[in-house]
Amino acid sequence: MSPFMDKAKTAVIAGIAAGILDTVYFSARAYISDSTPGRIMQAIASFWIGPSSYEMGAASMAFGLATHFGLSILMAAGFVFAAIKLSVFKGRLIVAGPLYGALLFAVMNLIVLPLRWPEIYPRYNGWASTAEIGLHLAFGAVIVWVVRRRAAA
């Protein structure tokens, strides 16, 4: 396998693993908030479709899920193809995961989410925001863990 394809495969595996972690997190948060994971998927789809995604049922849920995992894979690819080359991360992969996760949190909350919901982002929402920061640190750590495992194999 070519080095590029090996890195691409690593990015897909890392993105799916981190995406699963995020799915478990937001599913639990949805149930705690008296919502559903499907509603969260429709909210993700609404980034592309707009408010009508909430009326589209399973189709917009599937589109939201595909978008969610597509973004997770892109985030993992950012680390695999770019961030891992930064000298600050060399030999410090234990620190790299949470740092990369913090960067992803900042990008999501200061750029991506405000594009769709400028009236509510950026925001700090107490423990909910603290939990989201922790999730992103773990998200980055999962990406790095997969990269390390694949590199060692």
pLDDT band for position 86 (cuts 50, 70, 90): low
pLDDT the model gives residue 14: 97
pLDDT digits (tens, 9 = 90+) for 138-152: 999 999 999 888 877
Sequence ranges of the domains in the chain: 3-152
The answer on pLDDT for 88 being more than 80 is: no
% of the chain exceeding 90 in pLDDT = 70
According to the model, what pLDDT value does residue 125 have? 86
Going by pLDDT thresholds of 50, 70 and 90, the confidence category of residue 90 is low
Confidence of residue 91 (pLDDT cuts 50, 70, 90): low
Q: What is the rounded average pLDDT for all residues in the chain? A: 91
**DSSP secondary structure string, the chain?**
--HHHHHHHHHHHHHHHHHHHHHHHHHHHHHHTT--HHHHHHHHHHHHH-GGGGGSTHHHHHHHHHHHHHHHHHHHHHHHHTGGGSTTTTT-HHHHHHHHHHHHHHHIIIIIHHHH-TTT-S---HHHHHHHHHHHHHHHHHHHHHHHHHHH-
